[in-house]
Amino acid sequence: MFAAHAAAARSSGRRVLACSASRPSGLARPRRDVSETSPSSPAPRPGWARAFSSSEETVEVPVDELDPSSLADAYNRRRAVYNRSVSALRKQYHAEFVEQRERESRAKARETAKVKRAALERKRLKAMRTAENARAEVERRRERHARWTAELEATQRERDAKKDLYRRARQRIVDELEAECHLWLTSAEEVE
């Protein structure tokens, strides 16, 4: 197939490139003549056909050597260049993917650390409130105890004062009764 295509190209005087072996000859896209280059592209060397494989590398094949083996070699070189470019692109994508994953893991770690810091801050504030409440409760108990002690002492003083008052009142009654008691004494003859 390549030989027939190359022979037809030589007889017509056109320079052509090899097309893929997997495409039937009836479906092959016609290649642009190398001599029809744009003004921005470099001019090809006379007597050479350029096999375009990628933007990085160009394989030049002499026109006189467009036999099937040279076409296969050119195809293999283009395929190798393509495979290298695909491999480089895959490595680049993999590096970008790894970098993106590392960025996401760092962002997740930062977010996790932020959440943990917030939780620890809440726990610290809660512990401070608990300690403050405990101190306030201890102070309230101390004040209640002081009030109770003062109230107990006042009650005890009142009770002691009342007991003293009762004791003095009883003593006065006893004194008055003792003062009158000699009047109560009667002899046995008076009683009979």
From first to last of its 192 residues, the chain has per-residue pLDDT tens of 445 555 555 554 444 444 444 444 444 444 444 444 444 444 444 444 444 444 545 555 455 556 888 889 999 999 999 999 999 999 999 999 999 999 999 999 999 999 999 999 999 999 999 999 999 999 999 999 999 999 999 999 999 999 999 999 999 998 888 888 777 766 667 766
- Gap between the Cα atoms of 4 and 25, Å rounded: 10
- Gap between the Cα atoms of 96 and 59, Å rounded: 30
- Gap between the Cα atoms of 184 and 66, Å rounded: 168
φ, ψ (nearest 5 deg) of residue 52: -85, 120
- Gap between the Cα atoms of 70 and 6, Å rounded: 11
pLDDT at 127: 97
Find residue 50's DSSP bridge partners. 60
Determine if the pTM surpasses 0.85: no
pLDDT at 62: 54
